[in-house]
Chain A
């Protein structure tokens, strides 16, 4: 079955460390997105990509980086410049005018 897979499910980061969250989809979707959700908050867009080798900053891109070298993959790196990275990270993909399909998320905690 087609779907969107995020890994790992839980991730612990030490202060000053960079970590990379994986997002892979086999839905043949062109666009992919990264959102962050904090407790009691809405979804905030970090980065998005509408085609391979192209991506745009969302509303809260500072301290994050992405790449889109393959259609299926859109990894997110949380750098040490992100001062408050503890959150629930959601990856999504879409095609045309359809709605998003979300992955099951990664919970990142700073220890």
Chain B
């Protein structure tokens, strides 16, 4: 089983829509989780950190379900500028402490 799995999409939504992505992880000991956005041919940029059950920042909400080992990202009122690839990254524990495991990403396109 892969460390992190994401639906690759693409998700194509109109402006103003609400869209949600899921990410499942295999290491039940992971304590912190991160969502990154990556624009085409650019580096990933940190969007949100999750250390407990969830986090909210403006139009973006991340929710963690430890029992089912998945984390979701919800984007409300989508903007054209939200078009990007969204990467999920749980942090390893034990011998891999400190290392993030990245999913392949979910591609989002917001159209006018």
Q: Which residue of B lies closest to A35 (CB)?
A: B102
CB-CB contacts below 8 Å: A48-88 with B:
48, 50, 88
Encode contact with A along B15-51: 1 for CB under 8 Å, 0 otherwise: 0000000000000000110101000011111100101
Residues of chain B contacted by A102 (CB below 8 angstroms) = 43-45
Q: CB of A22 within 8 A of chain B?
A: no
Q: CB of A2 within 8 A of chain B?
A: no
CB-CB contacts below 8 Å: B29-78 with A:
31-32, 34, 36, 41-46, 49, 51
Q: How far is the CB of B85 from the nearest CB of chain A, in Å?
A: 10
Answer whether A99 and B104 are a contact pair too, CB < 8 Å, given A31-B98, A48-B99, A90-B43: no
Q: How far is the CB of A65 from the nearest CB of chain B, in Å?
A: 19
Most buried by B among A41, A43, A102: A43
Specify the main secondary structure of chain B where it touches its partner: loop
Give A residues with C-beta under 8 Å from B: 31, 33, 35, 41-43, 45, 48, 50, 88, 90, 94, 97-105
Given A99-B100, A105-B43, 9 additional A-B pairs, CB 8 A: A42-B102, A45-B99, A88-B41, A94-B98, A97-B91, A100-B46, A100-B100, A103-B43, A105-B42
Task: List 23 contacting pairs A-B, 8 Å CB cutoff, sorted by A.
Answer: A41-B104, A43-B87, A43-B102, A45-B99, A48-B98, A90-B43, A94-B98, A97-B31, A97-B51, A97-B91, A98-B49, A99-B34, A99-B36, A99-B49, A99-B89, A100-B34, A100-B44, A100-B46, A100-B100, A101-B46, A102-B45, A103-B43, A104-B42
